[in-house]
Structure 1
Amino acid sequence: MKFLTQNAIETEKFGRVVGQLVQPGSLILLNGDLGAGKTTFTKGLAQSLGIERAIKSPTFTLIREYRQGRLPLFHMDLYRLEHSSADDLGLEEYFDSAGVCVVEWSQFGEDVLPADRLVIDIQRDLPGFAADTRQFTLRAAGSKSQQLLEKITTAWSDQ
């Protein structure tokens, strides 16, 4: 599935749509360069989970935990693991929990990520489009994430 958002407000709205559909144990991998909108998307997702705390990029903390919503949200940024391993961090505890895991820069933790996942690639700087336009490409691996993708496709097309 591919689609465009025209600005940060629409990117956040898309996050809210996804957040309404996630289930305990959902794993979402966000790929995109700096400034692509990964944290903006996560803000929307957190809003739909009922999380009222400000959502900040976990770049310097590795993991930010938000436990007060409909489901716990574990927002991870694995960028700092570029030259090391995620093996000893205990991330499996988060992935095996009843929460939702959103992982930025997931390529640096591939060795510990579960196979069932929803991958969202966010591209900016699209030729012929305004600077705030983002292209989202979604793909699923695993049956749970495939069902989530189908629900997202239906819900977003109804917007």
Structure 2
Amino acid sequence: MQHNEKADSPQLYSWEASSEKDTIGFAEALAKLAVPGTVLAVDGDLGAGKTRFAQAFAAAIGVRGIVNSPTYTIIKEYEGEHLPFYHMDVYRLTLPEADELGLDEYFHSEGVTLVEWASLIEPILPQERMSIQIVTTGPDSRRIICQPMGQPYESWCRQLEMLEKVDEGEKPTV
């Protein structure tokens, strides 16, 4: 029975980042694969590095200037050299509020959408996305766990040579 459950749910992949530089490197590598309509659903505890990950990703797609957390503005739009970047922080939203704001329009746009605290709006996230959980493993080290939802994201995990993960204990929440 456990084997069938695993077959029905997307495979988990992990990336060990021993430093902030490694986390930035992962974000940059992922950004190279981004295409219009990419959705990254990012979760992690306070201080895990969600915004730092977003900043590194944005810089890698050519966003100039400062990218900071849209905690109070909910969403910030940036023009990148390669793609527009839509950075959301839905921590302060309820699901009905998020739905009312029409956030889903960004998910089907010509840019890349990165949603911090994405598990809070899981029902309105697109079916195809990359769910990312950033887990603090030390002062500067992180484990980045990805759950690709859809074939393009699955192939990205393989291209990035991420380790297939069996332990369900740290499964992304979205």
CA positional deviation for 1:139 = 1.3
Over residues 103-150 of structure 1, what are the superposed CA-to-partner deviations in whole Å (9 max), with x where a residue is unaligned?
Answer: 1111221221100010111111x3xxx411111111111122222322
Which ranges of structure 1 fall in alignment gaps of 5 or more residues? Answer: 155-159
C-alpha RMSD over aligned residues: 1.6
1:76 and 2:84 correspond: no
CA positional deviation for 1:152 = 2.6
In the alignment, which residue of structure 2 is the partner of 1:24?
A: 36
In the alignment, which residue of structure 1 is the partner of 2:125?
A: 113
2:121 aligned counterpart, secondary structure? helix
CA positional deviation for 1:37 = 0.7
Give the counterpart letter for 1:46 in structure 2. Answer: A
Which ranges of structure 2 fall in alignment gaps of 5 or more residues? Answer: 1-12, 163-174
In the alignment, which residue of structure 1 is the partner of 2:108?
A: 96
1:145 and 2:153 correspond: yes
Q: Distance in 2 between matches of 1:59 and 1:6?
A: 27
Q: Distance in 2 between matches of 1:75 and 1:45?
A: 10
Moved over 3 A (4+): 82-85
| Equivalent pairs, count | 150
In the alignment, which residue of structure 1 is the partner of 2:26?
A: 14
TM-score by length of 1: 0.87
Stretch of structure 1 that moved more, 109-118 or 143-152 = 143-152
Q: Distance in 2 between matches of 1:151 and 1:58?
A: 30
* Contact persistence 1:85–1:109 (CA under 8 A): no
Stretch of structure 1 that moved more, 29-38 or 141-150 = 141-150
**% of aligned pairs identical?**
36
Give the counterpart letter for 1:138 in structure 2. Answer: C
1:64 and 2:86 correspond: no
Q: Distance in 2 between matches of 1:83 and 1:21?
A: 29
Over residues 44-97 of structure 1, what are the superposed CA-to-partner deviations in whole Å (9 max), with x where a residue is unaligned?
Answer: 111111111211011111001111320001011111114753111111211110
Q: Distance in 2 between matches of 1:112 and 1:139?
A: 17
Stretch of structure 1 that moved more, 135-144 or 27-36 = 135-144
In the alignment, which residue of structure 2 is the partner of 1:41?
A: 53
TM-score by length of 2: 0.80
